[in-house]
Amino acid sequence: MVQKLVAIPGPTPVVRSIQNEMGREIVAFGDPSFVKDYKELLNDMMELWDATGQVFVIAGTGTMAMEMAIANTMKSGDNILIVSHGFFGNRFIEICERRGINVDLIQSEWGQIVPVADIEKKLSEKHYHAMTVTHVDTSTGVAAPVAEIGEMMKKFPETLYIVDGVCATAAEPEKLNSMNIDILLTGSQKAFGVCPGLAILWASEKALARRKSFGMIPDYYVDFEKWIPIMEDPSKYFATPAVNLIWALKESVNIIKKEGIENRYQRHIKYAKATQAALEALGFTILAEKDHRAVTLSNVLYMDGVNDAEFRKILAEEGAVVAGGLAAYAGKMFRFGHMGNIDEHYLVSVLGAIERTLVRCGIEIEMGKGVGTLLANLR
């Protein structure tokens, strides 16, 4: 059987040392050694992401973290501005509307960003209790300028700045204090390189104060107030932690610390630019505008003559799996994830599989051109 390289926007490949942590013998969640590991992980998460307030690492998904962010900061009748760069930015709409929150949406053409000046203008029109921005939308491969937006948000101190980092955190720079972010949320299965199953959310002091001002909220499992005592002292109990996934995330964070988080950011930039140059050398087009391309994935438009279903079927036979396009781009592009703990060998292998697939699809290319371009840009 051909070993298939998982090159989708998540879940991403899981390296052996992280797999080993998931395969450990289970212990009681109150075991002193586990409690110590859990607390060390939480402390590292606060330090590495320049956060004050509280970080929550609990069993769940990125979508649950989105709901957790809204449940603890917004109530019925409040106003929220949703800044959307694609399909997943729009997911906040239903989450908010189900709660009776007044939603205003500002969105870009797929492949472009919403200009910061346009966001500022919209915020100045009325009071918003919060604003959401998706750092990287996997439907478009666009990265929002979250630091620039955060600087602008200083003009609106009463509005919480919520960043969806599901496909960005641990690959794209994110610092809560210096970027003025009030809530950052993500999941374990993307740039952390851990299996799905953990929801991760940082909340600033301002966000925590907003939650406290509400008193009791209708939500139970995602309530900040239920989880704060456990995050402060993991020996306490509210709901059973995902023990082995906590160990796995701790190993992922150890890998990040060993690499150096700034080095990790630079590696993702290098890998992304090299990969995108290689894809363009083969004749593909990248959907996202060059100045706003994500480093975690590339959304790749097909050249004429390629059938999406056939391409992805043959590519799987050649040893790599990519994701299809969404919405209006379904059948017109594929999505190639290149984040987390991948290495150069992984990129060479996936690009090689793409080249072989193009040949089998009847597309004339210069064999080795994509891989050669990749390697030239990695040096």
In the annotated binding site for substrate, the residues are: 335
The DSSP annotation for 119-180 comes to HHHHHHHS--SEEEEESEETTTTEE--HHHHHHHHTT-TTSEEEEE-TTTBTTB---TTTTT
**At residue 289, what is the residue type?**
E
Phi, psi of 341 (to 5 degrees): -105, 30
Q: How is residue 321 written in tokens?
A: 């799996």
d(CA 288, CA 130): 27
Classify residue 72 by its DSSP letter: T
| Residue positions forming the annotated binding site | 335
The radius of gyration of the chain's CA atoms, rounded to the nearest angstrom, is 21
> Cβ distance 249 to 256 under 8 Å?
no
Give the list of residues 6+ apart from residue 41 with CB closer than 8 angstroms, or none: 57, 246, 249, 250, 253
